Structure 1
Amino acid sequence: MLDQSPTPADVSIDVRNVSKCYHIYSRPQDRLLQLLLGRKRRFYKEFWALKDVNLTVRRGESVALLGRNGAGKSTLLQVISGVLQPTAGTASITGRIAPLLELGTSFNPEFSGMENIALSASVLGLTEEQIAERRDTIAAFADIGDFIHQPVRTYSSGMQARLAFAVAAHVDAEVLIVDEILSVGDIAFTQKCTRFIREFRERGTLLFVSHDMSAVTALCDRAVWLNGGQVIEDGAPRDVAHHYKVWMANPQKHLDARAFLESLKAGTADEAEAPEPEPAGDGAQPVPDDDGTLLVQDLKTRTRVSFHWDALSSGEGGARIERAWIEDAEGSTATMVNGGDAVTLWIEAEARQPLQSPIVGFGVKDRLGQVVFAWDTSKTDLLPPVVDAGQTFRAGFRFRFPYLTGGTYTINLALADGTPDTHIQHHWMYDAMEFQVQWSSVAQGLIGIPMEQVVFTVDA
């Protein structure tokens, strides 16, 4: 949520008490009957796609809308964009807007791509002179070859997405609205659009709808969860995305989402009151800190090992991850990992019911929530042990740590039972560990490779 009420000058999008109602007719003839006899009787059922929605987006803020199909996300974007009129309430926007909603909404299917560039750009506010100046640049960004001169009705969904995004990227918009358009493109197009969105965030306001939780956490400052046309939660992307995913994964997700969220938060608070862990693998005695972080203290020093008892988690609960730690090549607990270091990640858990084929895994994420690398015990020839209820077991992953750029990273921990294709997720901990990469030899990119030798040769 916003930490303080923004001033009108700071607001790009202001949605106040917006509701949208559709009339649903059981039979085609009921529309005519409603027209003729509507004053005496109602021949339709009401469907409220939005119910008293309030949303304020600051200038320069990036906000994601989450929710399953039919939750009201697209309807809300259409109301904000001016495509739909709300049944009640108001929605205002400040600045030039570039909405990327349903594919082809601003395209004439009989016009060529070049003709539709002019049409869409004019709808978005460009003058004829500006369109003429940018037409070739837009066509190059779309990169659909000779199809740019063919009717849009001959385009695939991916080609339409390329053309629509190319126009939106060149109209000097102050507000960009993206509704799942990236999901229909190929990887090259998606990467190009993602780069543009990252650059756009530095100067504009973004409203983003996606089912890709990694993209949401990487690109957005806030996330808003919608269900049944109502706002269920508004907060940090990582937290909202977690709550939404847990609700979607729960077999009782037909229950009221807001009530489920309240019970989930209460359950998370209970998890923070976990018992003190047993001694770490190197003989040091872990002690829970006030913030939930695990501290390892020995005779020489007091080092911080970032295993958080209060990490957000989900799962069936048939087993529980109790602790995890990283050891260096000498078997001592590591508090900082550098690229190229030989390390072992240990994950310890307790079975609360018999496990026939436990799977233990982890995933390392950067500060934007992008998964850098991941692994689990099913990817080896190791035969998993049968674990009885009440038994403690652990998995160790020994590897040479990749060359990562310096900074803070987090680790998801996972525990399941079954096979890679068919399994029950018993405990999944989000960002349960945190570590620092102090130094590495990565020049650019997310990950580096060990370079044994670099040479120059010049032909005579």
Structure 2
Amino acid sequence: MKDDTAMQDMPSDGDVSIRVSGVGKCYHIYARPQDRLLQFLLRGRRQFYREFWALKDIDLTIRRGESVALIGRNGAGKSTLLQVISGVLQPTGGSMDVRGRIAPLLELGSSFNPEFSGMENIGLSASVLGLSEEQIAERREAIIAFADIGDFIHQPVRTYSSGMQARLAFAVAAHVDAEILIVDEILSVGDIAFTQKCTRFIREFRERGTLLFVSHDIGAITALCDRAVWLSGGTVVADGVPREVAHHYKAWMAGPQQHMTAQDFLETLKTAEAEATEVEAEAEAEAAVEAEVVVTQGGPDGETALVQTLDAQVQTVFRRDVLSSGEGGAKILQAWIEDARGTPVSMVNGGDLVTLCIEAEAQQTLDSLIVGFGVKDRLGQTMFAWDTTKTDLVIPPVNVGDRFRAGFRFHFPYLLGGTYTTNLAIANGTSDMYIQHHWMYDALEFHVQWSTVAQGLFGIPMDGVSLAINP
């Protein structure tokens, strides 16, 4: 963060879009309704309220063109911060510098008069966002078409569903030439067609403007944003790459450590990850020596070459130093993909018969073992996932120190060519209730060759195509 002098010296054409410095927001909480009157009558002599700080000394700099997500549990201060940045709320303390027209999509209908029709609210909301009467007239039809709510556009907004209000609000925001777009959970209330339309607009907007995005959908955050800020208790806990920040946030939410503050948990988790990385590095070095000894003492040259090739191929796709979480009752040691002949590969094609192998060791007795995986694309979107609870496989109890290997054999789907990663998981319990013991994020990386079959995310193999002219 830069100091106040740097902020004052920032040129008008600088690349900083939003700068928040030491911002706090305090609310007065009254135990009884009459305490408000007593506070008014006796102010300065006695305090009849307690203070609740929704935001505490927030420092945040967002550069022009950045897409930044705010994550955190309900009550963390996300919406309050967005309202302060958009000018809906005045901060109790601190300062802000916002450069550019803001289009805030905050609480549904916050800029609408419920008694006005949708048509009338288009003019009201657009004027609040800075459009002139002439500009509103020019864009009214485009806004109506984007909202796509039919004849309801002439009905009072109080008769709208939450999805219809979201459609109208987003339609207005999409046509005001905003330089900063603020989206607060609005995508969660619409149908799939609306969500897809809004997502397409957001992707296009990212090319020319600054995006502030609040959502509990981690997949949407990793797909749409290049930075994530984790808020808890009105303070910034972490600020960084969405995948890493989201991992730490989910680990805190999922684990029994919720009695710890987010800051303490994150510090503990980072220390544990650093120590684990050192241990993994030492283990890999020892394993490499042992492997060399085994290879050296191996049988015929053909077998030695095969072992060397196997090890080289596996090591290129599996990474032990990735982010991970869990209770530690099991540890994933290795993972790889085999082709139909049982040879490890790092490149697959749609339709190939493959086996995804996961090798692990039990650190405690697991009486209801679950092994699973999920394949993700480069944007972090899950393409498909599977685990042993979805099969008829009967798994006997696994004892402390036992090593086990799970193999998932399937025809690989027709995916768009590119690089994919795989989450790996070991748990104990049932599909409805389980304890996660080792979850590794993006541990297995592989490539899918480009295929003309795949257009979009998935391709569908055709058994045949027919064409009849004048049948």
| Band the TM-score falls in, shorter-chain normalisation | over 0.9
C-alpha contact (below 8 Å) 2:257/2:265 kept by paired residues? no
TM-fit CA distance, 1:426 = 1.1
Please give the secondary structure, in 2, of the residue aligned with 1:172.
coil
- Residues 301, 394 of structure 1: CA spacing in aligned structure 2 closer, same or farther, 3 A cutoff? closer
- Residues 35, 411 of structure 1: CA spacing in aligned structure 2 closer, same or farther, 3 A cutoff? same
TM-fit CA distance, 1:285 = 7.8
Please give the secondary structure, in 1, of the residue aligned with 2:165.
helix
- Residues 212, 28 of structure 1: CA spacing in aligned structure 2 closer, same or farther, 3 A cutoff? same
Match of 1:371 among 379, 382, 391: 382
RMSD value over aligned CA atoms?
2.3
Note the 1:259-274 alignment, pairs <5 A.
Answer: 259-272=264-277, 273-274=279-280
Note the 1:274-423 alignment, pairs <5 A.
Answer: 274=280, 275-276=283-284, 298=308, 302-303=312-313, 304-423=315-434
C-alpha contact (below 8 Å) 1:307/1:433 kept by paired residues? yes
Aligned to 2:461: 450
Match of 1:22 among 2, 6, 27: 27
- Residues 338, 285 of structure 1: CA spacing in aligned structure 2 closer, same or farther, 3 A cutoff? farther
C-alpha contact (below 8 Å) 2:415/2:454 kept by paired residues? no
Please give the secondary structure, in 1, of the residue aligned with 2:100.
coil
- Residues 330, 12 of structure 1: CA spacing in aligned structure 2 closer, same or farther, 3 A cutoff? same
Match of 2:449 among 432, 438, 444: 438
Q: For residues 5-45 of structure 1, give each alpha carbon's deviation from its aligned partner in whole angstroms, at most 9, with x where no partner exists.
A: 99651011111110111111111111111111111111111
Match of 2:225 among 216, 220, 225: 220
C-alpha contact (below 8 Å) 1:21/1:49 kept by paired residues? yes
Aligned to 1:155: 160
C-alpha contact (below 8 Å) 1:339/1:439 kept by paired residues? no
TM-fit CA distance, 1:456 = 3.1
Q: Is 1:119 equivalent to 2:124 in the alignment?
A: yes
Structure 1 segments, 4+ long, off by >4 Å, are 5-8, 283-286, 299-302
Q: Hey, what's the Cα distance between the residues in 1 that align with 2:379 and 2:274?
A: 25
Aligned to 1:200: 205
Q: Hey, what's the Cα distance between the residues in 1 that align with 2:92 and 2:195?
A: 35
Q: Bigger CA drift: 134-143 or 258-267? A: 134-143
TM-fit CA distance, 1:301 = 9.5
Q: Hey, what's the Cα distance between the residues in 2 that align with 1:68 and 1:164?
A: 25
Q: Hey, what's the Cα distance between the residues in 1 that align with 2:186 and 2:170?
A: 8
Aligned to 1:292: none
Identity among equivalent positions (%) equals: 72
**Aligned residue-pair number:** 447
Give unpaired runs (5+ residues) of structure 2.
296-305
- TM-score normalised by structure 2 residue count: 0.90
Q: Hey, what's the Cα distance between the residues in 2 that align with 1:105 and 1:430?
A: 39
- Residues 264, 306 of structure 1: CA spacing in aligned structure 2 closer, same or farther, 3 A cutoff? same
The code of the aligned residue for 1:250 comes to G
Q: Hey, what's the Cα distance between the residues in 1 that align with 2:310 and 2:37?
A: 85
Q: Hey, what's the Cα distance between the residues in 1 that align with 2:269 and 2:127?
A: 48
The code of the aligned residue for 1:396 comes to G
Q: Hey, what's the Cα distance between the residues in 1 that align with 2:110 and 2:431?
A: 41
- Residues 226, 300 of structure 1: CA spacing in aligned structure 2 closer, same or farther, 3 A cutoff? closer
- TM-score normalised by structure 1 residue count: 0.93
Q: Hey, what's the Cα distance between the residues in 2 that align with 1:254 and 1:175?
A: 37
- Residues 382, 134 of structure 1: CA spacing in aligned structure 2 closer, same or farther, 3 A cutoff? same
Q: For residues 62-119 of structure 1, give each alpha carbon's deviation from its aligned partner in whole angstroms, at most 9, with x where no partner exists.
A: 0000111111111100000001111111122111110000011100000011111111
TM-fit CA distance, 1:357 = 1.6
Query: Which one has the bigger helix percentage?
Result: 2
Q: Hey, what's the Cα distance between the residues in 2 that align with 1:374 and 1:284?
A: 38
